[in-house]
Chain A
């Protein structure tokens, strides 16, 4: 049994808490957030104590694992605090806001002998996992051109830290880190990146990026990321190789659409279709179950912290390419 304390009580913390509630060998024991109300409302749901000060939580509660769900720049400070206390760590993606942060987190955890697991949840999304397996089994032959799409409108959480580039790194670091990690996991290391984007365009609540990556294998990948379009959230990928093609889009993959009439004062009854793709277990559950099981058995998690650091490095190189308008070589 692993006792888990969550730090940062935003949307992702809610998802993680619900998973720990279901995972047999895990137990949520405390929630901390610098906003006391946020900590309180999540903690109440699971009947655990709430804290607004991390050190107080470390002093008063006994636990084994820290799950860091804060905005990106605060991952490293809490990871350091956890490592110093000998706690294993799950950190939300991206691992850090800067490479210095990433390496600092990796090094302190190594030194302290604690596990550092980065929640690259896309690897547990069944369509992405299946595609990874298909590619590795040779279904498309040698991969040549790979495309991914992710995004929709601008995120609107209660505290809008996504809009602050210094905190979130914009659509590239915060959102496309998913696709970047999946690409590196599936297709190996990258050599060069070229990107165009609105990251520095100064348009309020709008970010959009088109990234081209040349892999060491020769493969060319293209990533579209949007916090700019008034669409439903779209996810798609396509893998073309010398032996075949895989196409996926979430627009054509929902097994269930629930529709109801909503009333609109001017338009009367308007239809509101809600597509969904329910699974017996969620990707977040599978991800955290894997993490907890690794801790229990002493196995190294499938996501290595160094891989997450490589994903951050590629994302930051893409942002640099947007800034300077030229391709960036990866070391």
Chain B
């Protein structure tokens, strides 16, 4: 709980990532936060976003950083590391989309600069904050399904379009952006580290040479093995933009988790021919942001840390390497 302290000023750096809009909505309802506004190096994109959603637009990142305590970075993947460095140098706490950079050195640098600057850094892993995922983690870690033997995970989404398929900005496609979320969930629930990675990766659905189809296999340090479907395989008409699911098989039982396929209702709109899943469950972005704000106000470690991002990203990079070499990669 937060009480008796000054509210935190929060700003968003770039709205390149679609989650920026969700964050704006969350911050306007989040207690103990004053939402300052948004800056974007793409002036057209930033100002039209600000106008459309009625928030303050800052003409430069420096202007924004002057007035905030917390920077939320939603930039293109290749630009994130520099923004983390810039924000942390000014002593701002950082919540950043995943991964923090397109290569492991960049991710490590982002984590190191925040440690050295004494600011908090949290990767945007909203799945961690799902009450259902927490329950699953509790079932597993308390031994209710015995020893973990295997996991089957999926973190799929629609092709997000735009810069995501431009390698100079994204560093990669579906594997780069979906794998870390699934690996993080598995590390946390299984309580072990990825030890070996094998992957089949290809670009089979969207034009260009960007990867969109992938099955990543991970062997964990406790002997459990897993696969993850990280494809951009949800078509435009799919009723949800992202689906995240996990099956955990243990010696005494199993757990099946479906983060977006549960706690929803099917809505069919007659006018637009659209079918949507409308969630009535918790807003995971909101729970994630609240947790980060609490960690700042209470000066505790964030629930998910930069080191978690490094671990998940290491497996992600190994997946690309494995697909290229057609052999398993030991970590």
Contacts and interface: CB of A to CB of B under 8 A. Distances in A.
B219 to A, nearest CB: 7
A23 interface: no
Interface in A213-241: 214, 218-220, 222, 224, 226, 228-231, 240-241
Given A220-B202, A229-B254, A208 B233 contact: no
Interface in A27-55: none
A91 interface: no
B193 interface: no
Given A212-B215, A218-B202, A229 B227 contact: no
Contacts of B213: 144-145, 220, 240
A145 B231 contact: yes
B326 A222 contact: no
B215 A245 contact: no
Range, interface on chain A: 35 or more
B215 A142 contact: no
A5 to B, nearest CB: 41
A245 B231 contact: no
A144 B217 contact: no
Interface residue SS majority, chain B: strand
Interface string B187-204: 000000000101010101
A196 B204 contact: no
B238 interface: yes
A219 B235 contact: no
Interface residues of B, number: 34
A18 interface: no
Given A145-B233, A245-B234, A210 B205 contact: no
B106 interface: no
Of B196, B227, B254, the most chain A CB neighbours within 10 A belong to B227
Interface of B: 149-150, 152, 196, 198, 200, 202, 204-206, 212-215, 217, 219, 225-227, 229, 231, 233-235, 238, 247, 249, 251, 253-254, 256, 326-328
20 contacts: A144-B205, A144-B231, A144-B233, A194-B200, A194-B217, A196-B150, A206-B149, A208-B150, A210-B150, A210-B225, A218-B202, A218-B204, A220-B213, A224-B152, A224-B247, A226-B249, A228-B249, A229-B247, A245-B233, A325-B196
